[in-house]
Amino acid sequence: MTSSSDRTQKIRVLNDAFRQTFAGGKVVVSAGVAELAEIAVANALLEVARYDRFDEDNDPYGEHDFGAFEFLSRTFFWKIEYYDLTLAAGSEDPSDPQCTTRVLTLMLADEY
């Protein structure tokens, strides 16, 4: 049986790999982000990939599934959510990539 700390560690590793490479899941942007210039969107996504400022306030479960940063004098949020392979429901086990599709959403904070 896997302990909850082992499960959390697996989720964190999978989330970090996805966030840093955008491979193994889907990336979507909000309407407000989509309205920005392509170069701004690209640089905001680079900020997501480089993000490493996890702490108790923004990562209470240790899964590295949320972040916030300032860019272009705006606050951006990103969030990773876990779905089944068909994207029809939540994943039964986010620590298992065989039954999970990760979806990272990048949005402006004022869209939240």
- In tens, the pLDDT along 13-41 reads 999 999 999 999 999 999 999 999 999 99
Specify the pTM. 0.94
Domain membership of residue 82 as a residue range: 4-111
Please tell me the total count of domains within the chain. 1
Q: How far apart are CA 67 and CA 55, in angstroms?
A: 10
Q: How far apart are CA 76 and CA 97, in angstroms?
A: 27
Distant-in-sequence, close-in-space partners of 45: CB < 8 Å, separation ≥ 6: 22, 27, 106
For residue range 36-91, what is the model confidence (pLDDT) as tens digits? Answer: 999 999 999 999 999 999 999 999 999 999 999 999 999 999 999 999 999 999 99
Q: How far apart are CA 19 and CA 3, in angstroms?
A: 24
- Residue 13 backbone dihedrals phi, psi, to 5 degrees: -60, -45
